[in-house]
């Protein structure tokens, strides 16, 4: 069944002694605003967690943007794995239905014009679920220790290699997202797809961050507001989250004061709230619990 109304999302997770999202153009340093000391994470990183988790559980047939046998495949090669049929991509791949994609059209071997008629054309789907870049809700400090030494010898000197390993001490990162049900009709998204995202993203942040630079990611809050009014959006929910630093240098959740009461008041009577809170975030979540939300994960969802 297709959704008949909009949804909005608030996703909060913490990162301890890890690199939330390295910038490949800057020695893979965590993305930072040097003036405000705010830590940023791209929407691509969050989507990557979700895609990789789907692949881990169910294989590559259900995700469009992926590696095959550890190698990147361009869109034309990937389309061949779906019999060169864009409709099969849409029906099979949950990331296309949620996030959108550009899918090439197979060139025609014969027809009016030339043998390459149709070559270079593509079908573009704008995803109905869009996520902002995430940002930290407080000032973030880079860890002082940045050098790592490899035991493998250097190519020329035979000595161990020394590289850079940039991490943050602590970052409480918040994302906002919005789902447009009207745009979802184009990608054939279903209510089940939204429920799968509700269930999987939490686990994806936990499971897919188990790498050397990413371990230390912990989801704390996942909230989806499903509006009862099909034409309503509140806008970025992060502006209703009030955070105060108890200390100049934040090293953990206890160094922050977090108030969700303004957010709870904004969500009241707007629709159905789907909620999941970590145990250590339960006291902070009390204003949201007062809304009598539907607790996640959904029990009745099976994928694929």
Maximum C-alpha span of the chain: 71
**Alpha helices (H) in 251-304, listed in sequence order:** 261-267, 286-289
Residues 108, 126: contact at Cβ < 8 Å?
no
Residues 177, 11: contact at Cβ < 8 Å?
yes
- The pLDDT tens digits of the residues spanning 146-174 come to 655 444 445 554 545 556 889 999 999 99
As a whole number, the mean pLDDT across the chain is 90
Residues facing 10 on adjacent strands: 176, 223
Provide the CB-side half-sphere exposure for 104 (13 A, CA): 17
Phi and psi at 259, nearest 5°, equal: -125, 120
- Name which of 222, 191, 219 is nearest 295 in CA terms: 222
Q: Using the Cα atoms of residue 74, residue 76, residue 79 and residue 81 in order, give the sign of their dihedral.
A: negative
Per-residue pLDDT, 121: 85
CA distance 208 to 83: 30
Per-residue pLDDT, 276: 98
- Name which of 165, 171, 164, 174 is nearest 141 in CA terms: 171
134-137-138-139 Cα dihedral, nearest 10 degrees: 10
- Name which of 267, 274, 94 is nearest 198 in CA terms: 274
Per-residue pLDDT, 110: 46
- Name which of 172, 169, 153 is nearest 161 in CA terms: 153
Query: pTM of the full predicted structure?
Result: 0.90
CA distance 3 to 182: 9
Per-residue pLDDT, 105: 80
- Name which of 34, 39, 37 is nearest 16 in CA terms: 39
CA distance 177 to 63: 20
- Name which of 288, 264, 268 is nearest 276 in CA terms: 288
CA distance 14 to 221: 10
Q: Looking at beta carbons, which pairs linking 291-296 to residues 24 or more positions away fall under 8 Å? A: 291/264, 291/267, 293/223, 296/198, 296/199, 296/202, 296/222
pLDDT tens digits for the chain (304 residues)? 899 999 999 999 999 999 999 999 998 999 999 999 999 999 999 999 999 999 999 999 999 988 777 777 788 889 999 999 999 999 999 999 999 999 998 655 445 555 455 566 889 999 999 999 999 999 999 998 765 544 444 555 454 555 688 999 999 999 999 999 999 999 999 999 999 999 999 999 999 988 877 888 999 999 999 999 999 999 999 999 999 999 999 999 999 999 999 999 999 999 999 999 999 999 999 999 999 999 999 998 999 9
- Name which of 95, 165, 162, 168 is nearest 125 in CA terms: 95
């Amino acid at each position: 069944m297709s959704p008949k109304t909009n949804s909005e999302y608030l996703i909060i997770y913490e990162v301890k002694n890890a690199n939330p999202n390295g910038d490949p153009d800057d020695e893979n340093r965590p993305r930072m605003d040097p003036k405000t000391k705010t830590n940023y994470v791209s929407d691509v990183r969050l989507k990557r967690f979700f895609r990789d988790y789907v692949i881990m559980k169910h294989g590559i047939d259900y995700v469009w943007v992926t590696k095959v046998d550890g190698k990147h495949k361009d869109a034309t090669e990937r389309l061949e794995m779906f019999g060169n049929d864009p409709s099969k991509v849409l029906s099979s791949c949950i990331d296309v239905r949620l996030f959108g994609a550009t899918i090439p059209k197979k060139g025609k071997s014969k027809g009016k014009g030339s043998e390459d008629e149709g070559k270079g054309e593509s079908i573009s789907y704008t995803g109905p679920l869009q996520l902002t870049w995430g940002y930290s809700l407080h000032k973030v400090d880079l860890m002082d220790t940045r050098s790592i030494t490899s035991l493998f010898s250097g190519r020329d000197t035979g000595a161990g290699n020394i590289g850079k390993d940039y991490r943050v001490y602590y970052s409480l990162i918040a994302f906002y997202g919005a789902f447009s049900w009207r745009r979802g009709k184009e990608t054939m998204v279903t209510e089940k797809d939204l429920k799968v995202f509700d269930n999987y993203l939490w686990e994806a942040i936990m499971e897919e961050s188990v790498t050397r630079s990413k371990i230390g990611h912990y989801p704390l809050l996942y909230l989806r507001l499903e509006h009862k009014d099909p034409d309503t959006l509140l806008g970025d929910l992060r502006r209703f989250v009030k955070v105060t630093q108890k200390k100049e240098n934040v090293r953990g959740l206890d160094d922050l004061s977090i108030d969700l009461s303004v957010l709870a008041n904004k969500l009241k009577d707007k629709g159905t709230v789907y909620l999941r809170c970590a145990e250590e975030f339960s006291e902070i979540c009390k204003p949201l619990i007062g809304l009598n939300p539907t607790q996640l994960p959904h029990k009745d969802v099976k994928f694929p």
